[in-house]
Structure 1
Amino acid sequence: MPSYVYVSKEALTAAIHTAYLKLDAEYDEIAESDKDLRLPDVDRTPAEILAYQLGWLALIQSWEAEELAGGVPTMPAPGYKWNRLGEMYADFYRQYETYSLAELRTRFAQAEAQWLAWIDGLSDEELLVQGKRRWTGENPNWPMARWIHINSAAPFGSFRGKVRKWKKAKSAAF
């Protein structure tokens, strides 16, 4: 069974929280002075990785809020197209560039807690049955839980690898 197929909200939130804890722990060894250090072979700085996560967590919740308010969310976001997400990511980075690494981590912890609370307020049917929200589209393989997974648990895991690669590259370079 693919990792994005969940049988309950508890399984989904456990996967997200476990991945979050592992990613956050990788930052314990990164100095504040290195938060914006760009290294070869790693496409984001430590701060950009956190900004990316913060941006996506907020964006998905904005889709939900817009739909629940009776509107139709603009996806991925007003002024952006799916085939040009790099521009949106650059805006995420600018939005959070003045924050320290400690502040970014605190915001990430708060965003993850808010994300889990949001999920906890949803029913298993809303999460696991396609079509309960318009913003999830019509593909029967993409219920809300899959959207949530690919914007939290999955990137938390893949970015953990990027942070490790960044730390290895830093050790080799300095």
Structure 2
Amino acid sequence: MAVPINKEELQEAIISNYTKLKKELLTIAFEKTSINELEGHSKGTLMSINNLISYLVGWGELVIKWNEKKDNNEAVDFPETGYKWNELGKLAQKFYEDFKNDDFNSLIIKLDKTVETILLLIENKSNKELYDVTWYEKWTLGRMIQFNTSSAYLNGKNRIRKWKKAQNTKS
């Protein structure tokens, strides 16, 4: 799917990529979800399925937080307070830690709610707000949402498929 250029395409990309990701997630045995076997978000690291979901929830919650702060004319620390853009591996570790006590099923529920909230956020914005004005540095709001939702869901689905393929080749 091409990079969304308007509100409808963004909504469609999120729904489509999340549906594909969730389909992959729901085929994983519960007992495998906490084992660190997936390629991690930092070079040379491994993560679990639960870490992957935590990462997606974490970024989704940041998108929501950024929007709430901007809507209230408050300053936003991008990407997150205490983290710089060149420290995204550390931020991923923070997300893993934030949700370490959640099991697979509760993480799926949190991710569903995060996606639902983001889709509602998009629904309540105009196409102009999403794509016709710069929102952060050179990026529009729609693009910032896309980076951290539909693109991340596609990346997550691909990581899971790669992991599943490796699982099938192990004897």
Report if TM-score (shorter chain) is over 0.5: yes
Trace 1:1-174 onto structure 2 (pairs within 5 A).
Answer: 3-6=2-5, 8-39=6-37, 42-43=39-40, 44-131=47-134, 133=135, 136-137=136-137, 139=138, 142-173=139-170
Count, aligned residues: 165
8 Å contact from structure 1 (residues 4, 150) kept in 2: no
Q: Distance in 2 between matches of 1:168 and 1:47?
A: 18
Counterpart secondary structure, 1:61: helix
Q: TM-score, normalised by structure 2?
A: 0.90
- 1:16-39: per-residue Cα shift (whole Å, max 9, x none)? 101000000101221111112122
Amino acid of the structure 2 residue aligned with 1:31:
A
RMSD: 1.6
Counterpart secondary structure, 2:56: helix
8 Å contact from structure 1 (residues 56, 151) kept in 2: yes
Counterpart secondary structure, 1:63: helix
Q: Distance in 1 between matches of 2:156 and 2:74?
A: 32
Q: Distance in 1 between matches of 2:70 and 2:117?
A: 18
Q: Distance in 2 between matches of 1:23 and 1:5?
A: 18
- Residue 43 of structure 2 corresponds to which residue in structure 1? none
Q: Distance in 1 between matches of 2:164 and 2:101?
A: 22
8 Å contact from structure 1 (residues 12, 145) kept in 2: yes
Amino acid of the structure 2 residue aligned with 1:94:
E
Q: Distance in 2 between matches of 1:146 and 1:106?
A: 25
Q: Distance in 2 between matches of 1:71 and 1:106?
A: 29
Indicate the percent of aligned positions where both proteins have the same amino acid: 25
Amino acid of the structure 1 residue aligned with 2:153:
F
Change (3 A) 1:5 1:19: closer
- Stretches of structure 1 that go unaligned for 5 or more consecutive residues are none
8 Å contact from structure 2 (residues 4, 13) kept in 1: no
Q: TM-score, normalised by structure 1?
A: 0.88
Counterpart secondary structure, 2:39: coil
Query: Offset at 1:171?
Result: 2.6
